[in-house]
Amino acid sequence: MEIATVESIKAFGSLVGSQDGVEKFMSFEGTQIFKVPFDLKEDSELIVCKVDRRPMTLSIMERHFKHTQTFIPMDGKPFIMVLAPNTQGPLPDPASLRAFLFKDVTGIAMHLGVWHEFPFVLEDATQFAVVLSSQSHHSDLKDPRYEWDGEGPDLERRNLRAREGYDFTVVM
């Protein structure tokens, strides 16, 4: 597992809440505003999720092509995300999966197409604000053999266990 830093996640997205590596948008009367790179091609939503701990075994990954999905822990609690670069094919490359510990940072705004799983939390009742496309919720089951697979206007979700026979376990 790696610590999420501006440098370690730049291939996957930008840290939200760090001034390092982001453009200073404006400054006035002691207030500094930084622009986090964000891409949204459709209607957006801000949802709030309350997440409890679960086994740190990942079998589902997804990606989005119409928005820069953003996860911001509302209470500053640490979390872990497994990320993989965008691929040309319909699955992430298992050798490219990386686990990041987000600690002492606010969150992540992922690049378009980055494969990811919902965050693994280290404390029960961790709350996230999630910015995403409203089209992310609309998906159809692509193939009944692969439970939890989904395909939609802005979602490609794959069950790696059912399709490829493997899980990815995060080791702390």
Query: What's the pTM value of the predicted model, to 2 decimals?
Result: 0.81
pLDDT tens digits, residue range 11-48? 998 787 655 555 555 555 555 555 566 666 667 777 78
CA separation, residue 101 to residues 10, 61, 76, 105, 123 (Å): 14, 18, 13, 10, 13
Position 137 confidence tier, pLDDT thresholds 50, 70, 90:
low
pLDDT at 59 over 80: yes
* CA 140 distance to own-chain centroid: 21
Q: CB-based contacts of 78: which residues, under 8 Å, 6+ apart?
A: 101, 102, 103, 104, 122, 123
Instruction: Flag whether pLDDT at 74 surpasses 70.
Output: yes
CATH number of 2-169: 2.60.120.480
Question: Which tops the pLDDT comparison, 38 or 153?
Answer: 153
Report the distance separating Cα 47 and Cα 69, nearest Å.
11
- Return the pLDDT at 96: 94
- pLDDT at residue 26 in the model: 52
Q: What is the pLDDT of residues 85-113, one digit of tens each?
A: 999 999 999 999 999 999 877 789 899 99
8 A C-beta contact, residue 165 and residue 69: no
Give pLDDT, residue 57.
Answer: 92
* Residue among 154, 171, 167 nearest 65 (CA): 154
Least reliable range by pLDDT among 48-52, 68-72, 108-112, 142-146:
142-146
| CA 111/CA 85 separation, integer angstroms | 9
Task: State residue 81's pLDDT score.
Answer: 95
Query: What average pLDDT does the segment 127-141 reach?
Result: 72
**pLDDT at residue 168, as a whole number:** 87
CA distance 168 to 161: 9
Name the E strands within 29-140.
Answer: 31-35, 44-51, 57-58, 60-63, 70-73, 79-84, 98-102, 107-110, 115-116, 120-121, 126-133
Domain boundaries, the chain: 2-169
> What letter represents residue 39's amino acid?
D
Strand order in the sheet with 107-110: 13-16, 107-110, 70-73, 126-133, 44-51
Average pLDDT across the chain, whole number? 81
